[in-house]
Amino acid sequence: MESLPDTPLLEMRSVSKIYGGGFLQKAGKVALKDFSLTLPMNKPRIVALAGESGSGKTTAARLALGLLEPTSGQILYKGVDLHRISRREALVFRREVQAIFQDPYEVYNPVYKVDHVFNVLVSRFRLAPDRAAARPLIADALRVVGLDADEVLGKYPHQLSGGQRQRIMVARAFLLKPRLIIADEPVSMVDASLRAAILSIMLKLKEEFGISFLYITHDLSTAYQYSDEIYILNRGEVVESGDSQAVIDNPTHPYTQLLIRSIPIPDPDLKWEGKLEIELENVPE
């Protein structure tokens, strides 16, 4: 899947997704309406899609992954329409665009050891001739996310913590050296003490390995700290977008202002002013 240097890595052009409708139902449910987004090819970015449950952000993520087909609009990867690509181009897309999902337990098959999630990729994408040759590749991916292969491989999912399971899924995605990772609420079910550590890994993958992220979240504080750009969605529509810090520091839309006011503050005598500093020192690995 070759492309010109100025071709976007991912482009979503006025994409809408409507569920239902048809003969017995006059109108379907609009999950996403006229959504547009562009990720540059050679400038890795973390782009946050934020909003409350039902705002359309997960639908946008699934569309970007090619798991859903848009009702209208177009989704292009390296300039090629996702729903008109060849089998060879589809294989490239599946290797270069990976996903991290919300629940760090349900993505595993409990009857297999965690090694299985790596072995499937090694076999499908022919990353190594055999498992022995794959072991150093897997160990390196685990090292990047702060895990020791000797401590986690050979264990079943229930024998590991939620933070370890989620970091293994990040390592699994990294194993393929993707161009884009779509992370759907990747820390919402992880202990609060580990959230900053996992999000810092995302930042590391962007800065050191050139991987872009679509970061799906309802948490404006982490979007402020870790993302370059933010799209605020409400009922399937983008109500505000731009530089993350600029949008959150100076929200113009009432819905964005409402989201910011709803962020809990540890001290009830202090009021959220749209500026955050998250302490990253002494965060558990």
Query: Would you say how long the chain is, in residues?
Result: 285
| Residue keyed to tokens 């899924």 | 169
Query: Which two three-digit tokens encode residue 49?
Result: 């899609």
Instruction: Output the pLDDT for position 79.
Output: 94
Rounded to whole angstroms, the Cα distance separating 64 from 9 reads 11
Cα–Cα distance between 122 and 26 in angstroms, integer? 47
For domain 10-261, give the CATH number.
3.40.50.300
Residue 233 near residue 57 (C-beta atoms within 8 A)? yes
CA angle, residues 240, 208, 51, in degrees to nearest 5: 20
- Specify whether the CB–CB gap between 39 and 206 falls below 8 A: no
CA atoms within 13 A on the CB side of 151: 10
pLDDT computed for residue 262 by the predictor: 77
Q: Which residues of 60-71 are buried (b: 16+ CB within 10 A; e: fewer)?
A: bbbbbbbebebb
How far is 116 from 114, CA to CA, in rounded Å? Answer: 5
Extract the residue ranges of the chain whose pLDDT is less than 70: 1-5, 21-27, 264-285
Nearest by Cα to 201 from 175, 156, 171: 171
Q: Which residues contact 203 (CB under 8 A, 6 or more apart)?
A: 46, 226
pTM greater than the 0.85 cutoff: yes
Contact 71, 77 (CB under 8 A): no
| 55: Cβ contacts below 8 Å, ≥ 6 apart | 233, 234, 235, 236
Res 275: pLDDT = 46
What does the pLDDT read at residue 9?
96
